Chain A
Amino acid sequence: MTTKPKNLHTISFLVANKPGVLVRIAMVFARRGYNIDSLVVSASVNPQYSRMTITASGETITLEQIIKQSAKLIDVLHVEEHTGIDAVDREYALVKIKTTPSTKATILKLCKKFHTHIVDHTDHVLIVSQGGTTEELDQFEGLVKKYGILEMIRSGKLVMAKGKKIT
């Protein structure tokens, strides 16, 4: 498992659903030496606008500039960093695991324990989907790793503000 980046921040954006918006935002991060660790973009309730959740790592003081410079972009309607207290976050993963007759039972037990779904099942290979917090996903990954993860893709964090507050 890769080491977890330090100074990880979760930032949500409400942006105009137009070509080029993602590039403009990515440039604000890249120019200031911020690495984007995960990125989720999808249409919002109003298809004119998109929601983005970006997790990125870097100095907190630089992040303040990144948020202000992103907010200045004409196509950005709203940008906010979420700390975890004011918002909920979830992540989704697809994991392709190698199985053998001797490991299969243990792996299936782990899958059940972590509430994953088996989405494909062939000889010696399982593909499971898992939804949960980033920590739960990390934990599952850590436990099945020794049996052989052939492939994995994670959605990156999805964030939503609690209560009536708009993300």
Chain B
Amino acid sequence: MHNQKLRKLGAVALMAVVVGAMTYVSQTSTSKLEAAQTEQSNALLTPWGEPDLQGIWSVELLVPLERPNGVTTEFYTEEQVAELDRERANGSVFGNHVRAERGSEADVAGAYNAVFTSQRPTGRRTGMVIDPPDGKVPPLTPEARARQTELFEYQAALLQNTVVCRDGLDGCIGGTYGPRSPLRDQQPPYYSTRNINRANGPEDRSLGERCMSGNLPNFRGGFTGIHYRIVQSPGAVTIFYDVGQGQGFNRVIPITDAPHLPAHVRQWWGDSRGRWEGDTLVVDVTNFSGKTEFRGARENLRLIERWRRTGPETLEVVSTLEDSTVWTRPWTVVQDFAKQPEAPNRIYYEPRCHEGNYGLPGLLIGSRAEDEAFAEGRGRDPGTRCIAGCASPEGRDPLALR
């Protein structure tokens, strides 16, 4: 009995020692393995041994979201890139070659000219979408298509009595000219994140006009550019998104295997859970709010991101989007970022679109003045004017991501 107890004790003690030793060994083995794997890129590890994603990152080359029609390769040749650069440099960017008739509404509309917008060189990639292999966003589900049509018809109805539709301009979005629609007195069929041709209140205006367009996923980088600042510590990656003309936001990705927030807790930027898989930060984002919108996807969106430092000056972010209520299959997008020098610190932490938003109250008070003038017989019906961004004579860069 005594001997058996001693033996059991001995077994337990031995187990403890072996556990300790094996833990030590497995930890050092893991670190040794990591060290071996990344030996040639030690500059790309943080001091605590994780892949280093830190720095200021920007998208420097223009790549449209989808591969343009008629293009069948994943990459352009150097000659094709040079040709595209030439074409785009000579083409129209935001109306620098386009003139509307003097004195017309279209002549004074349009906020951005070629001096304001950045014209980035053409990238080698023919499109950001890498899956499906044809480089196009997958088709919408019938229910998503029906929802989009519903909102489109509402938007078109609010435009039909405008001079833009009378004159058959692009801003009429393919609608027809007609009398004032009774839909002007109704709300859109569901929460719209885009402009409608009305300014009864802030909800009639786009998220951008309300200074809330900074959302996930962030594939923009059209004319306003895209800058990230990434800082890491063990257990967290924080990314400041300087996007959308002062509509930036900060996002913290916890490195954890804790479950997501409960399903009823919904956020604009969803709920991120990160983990390291070798040299890649894999982030699973769920719990999106119904107020957010990405090409039709709202609260059912699931985003899986893979962040990887591909070289001293490069970062690749591969994002897979899933929403079976919107797209017939998941699709995947790649973004290539270039490291920016630290010393000039050229990233804008003041997302003060909101603090300086004189545009929105200006638009609202202007609409109230128009309503009053019309009611008193002093002015035209406000419904005949387009205030949904349709009157600007902008040309379109064929590759531009808007």
**Chains A and B are bound partners:** no
Query: Which B residues lie at the A interface, using CB under 8 A?
Result: none
